[in-house]
């Protein structure tokens, strides 16, 4: 891993890729306003958006889609040494997938409570609580590009796009 400064710079770059992926749903509404990007050694491995409505599959959250893509690209289910950047704090399902993939860091912008206020049916269990209850060692970094991530949610709300 790089220095803390390099990680913060990489975190912001990864979050920008996640935001770009999520913004595509403002045009197509294939899923919610969520994006994720997986990095390894500062290099983008995969970026994905939520495609629940497009695929008619409730597991097609941005984080799960990014994990699937990264695993295919790397040829392994083991994503140790990776960081996942998510525009919103991962839900419990995504947190579990991140844990099982062996991803070492979760970087997120907005919190679960921010999207719950928009009407998404979120389980209001924070990643910190999941980490503690599950004995998981994943590192959590919240609030990265939070204002940009909040702007994405405001745009979603302004456009009156579907929640689920």
Catalytically annotated residues:
63
State the burial class of residue 124 (Cβ atoms within 10 Å of its Cβ: 0-12, 13-18, 19+): exposed
Beta-sheet pairing, 35-40 with 82-88:
antiparallel
Q: Can you tell me the distance from the alpha carbon of 33 to that of 12, in angstroms, rounded to the nearest whole number?
A: 18
Q: Can you tell me the distance from the alpha carbon of 157 to that of 115, in angstroms, rounded to the nearest whole number?
A: 10
Starting at the edge strand that comes first in sequence, how are the strands of the sheet with 82-88 ordered?
Answer: 43-49, 35-40, 82-88, 105-110, 139-141
């Amino acid at each position: 891993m790089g220095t803390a400064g390099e990680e913060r710079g990489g975190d912001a770059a990864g979050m920008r890729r996640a935001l770009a992926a999520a913004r595509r749903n403002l045009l197509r509404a294939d899923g919610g306003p969520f994006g994720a990007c997986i990095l390894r050694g500062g290099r983008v491995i995969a970026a994905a958006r939520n495609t629940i409505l497009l695929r008619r599959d409730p597991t097609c959250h941005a984080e799960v889609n990014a994990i699937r893509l990264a695993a295919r690209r790397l040829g392994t289910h083991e994503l140790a040494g990776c960081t996942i950047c998510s525009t919103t704090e991962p839900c419990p399902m995504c947190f579990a997938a991140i844990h099982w993939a062996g991803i070492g860091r979760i970087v997120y912008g907005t919190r679960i409570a921010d999207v719950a206020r928009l009407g998404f049916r979120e389980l209001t269990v924070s990643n910190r609580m999941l980490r503690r209850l599950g004995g998981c060692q994943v590192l959590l970094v919240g609030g990265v590009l939070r204002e940009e991530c909040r702007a994405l949610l405001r745009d979603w709300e302004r456009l009156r796009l579907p929640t689920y």
